[in-house]
């Protein structure tokens, strides 16, 4: 696969959602290289080198293309041109890329957690605790668990007493759309879900202790870990699913 010098790089693309540009370039490569339906695409690493963008941007683009039926991801095998031959449609509907959302959350929510540790009233802490308990109670109900997860993070924003921050947090969570859901489908594991509960307990403990530095660190560590998990190789979910959970890890975003 020859490197295309005309492709836009992350440094000079003004498009906010870079993965759309990358998705277009991957489709162009499929045509230019005459990669037939059912054939495997170059690796994520090779695509990133060819397009001169990060692997995270390539991953988001591939998942967007999967949503539109252009490619098919086969866990543990690779990424293939779809044999269905469906045309790309609705790319504008998939929203911001998960890595963009996570990057924004790391920046904003870490400081929100620190502020909550300073400002939270007893009733605000009770609301965070209730959301935490709901995450544990609905652990096996994915939809209810996700609602409790969102309630936990929004409750922390409310604990700051700043309504603008609450609106920012809600907007960030509203961007967890189809692209995020597909990313979770590929990379969410039992290990990740258990670690998420542990992360949330640490965040809550730091806020209860009125320790802004610890709250900031715990929130950032949580979001960095989710980013790392979403950045791991294709097929990792199948491999991890076969591993036994650690005895002390009974605690998971």
pLDDT surpassing 70 at residue 160: yes
Q: Name the phi and psi angles at 73, rounded to 5.
A: -95, 125
Rounded distance, CA 59 to CA 41, Å?
Answer: 13
pLDDT for 234 equals 55
Residue 120 CA: distances (Å) to CA of 101, 130, 159, 248? 25, 15, 5, 30
pLDDT for 148 equals 97
- Residue 4 pLDDT grade (very low, low, confident, very high; cuts 50, 70, 90): low
Q: Where are the beta strands (DSSP E) in 151-230?
A: none
Average pLDDT, integer, range 44-58: 87
Pick the closest to residue 239 from 196, 189, 192, 193 (CA basis).
189
pLDDT for 188 equals 75
Q: What is the pTM (predicted TM-score) of this model?
A: 0.74
The 10s digit of each residue's pLDDT in 218-233 is 999 999 998 888 877 5
The 10s digit of each residue's pLDDT in 199-219 is 999 999 999 999 999 999 999
Share of the chain above pLDDT 90, in %: 40
Higher pLDDT pick, 105 / 251 = 105
Point out which residues pair with 40 in neighbouring strands. Answer: 80
Rounded distance, CA 230 to CA 226, Å?
Answer: 6
3-state helix, strand, coil in the chain (%, to 5): 65, 5, 35
User: What is the average pLDDT score of the chain?
Assistant: 82
The 10s digit of each residue's pLDDT in 116-141 is 999 999 999 999 999 999 999 999 99
Token output for 34: 């005459």
Average pLDDT, integer, range 231-244: 46
- Residue 106 pLDDT grade (very low, low, confident, very high; cuts 50, 70, 90): very high
What single-letter DSSP state applies at residue 83? S
């Amino acid at each position: 696969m020859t490197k295309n010098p005309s492709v836009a790089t992350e440094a000079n693309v003004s498009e906010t959602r870079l993965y759309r540009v990358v998705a277009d370039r991957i489709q162009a490569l499929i045509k230019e290289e005459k990669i037939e339906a059912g054939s495997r695409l170059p690796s994520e690493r090779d695509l990133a080198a060819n397009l001169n963008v990060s692997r995270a941007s390539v991953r988001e683009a591939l998942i967007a293309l999967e949503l539109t039926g252009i490619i098919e991801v086969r866990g543990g095998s690779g990424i293939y041109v779809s044999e269905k031959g469906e045309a790309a449609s609705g790319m504008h509907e998939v929203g911001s890329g998960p890595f963009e959302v996570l990057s924004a959350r790391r920046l904003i929510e870490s400081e929100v957690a620190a502020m909550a540790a300073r400002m939270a009233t007893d009733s605000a802490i009770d609301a965070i605790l209730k959301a935490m308990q709901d995450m544990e109670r609905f652990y096996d109900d994915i939809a209810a668990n996700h609602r409790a997860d969102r309630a936990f993070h929004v409750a922390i924003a409310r604990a700051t007493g700043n309504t603008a921050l609450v609106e920012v947090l809600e907007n960030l969570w509203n961007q967890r759309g189809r692209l995020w859901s597909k990313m979770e489908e590929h990379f969410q594991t039992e290990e990740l879900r258990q670690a998420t509960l542990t992360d949330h307990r640490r965040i809550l403990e730091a806020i209860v202790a009125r320790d802004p530095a610890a709250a900031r660190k715990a929130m950032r560590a949580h979001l960095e870990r989710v980013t790392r998990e979403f950045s791991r190789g294709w097929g990792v979910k199948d491999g991890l699913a076969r591993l036994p959970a650690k005895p002390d890890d009974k605690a998971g975003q």
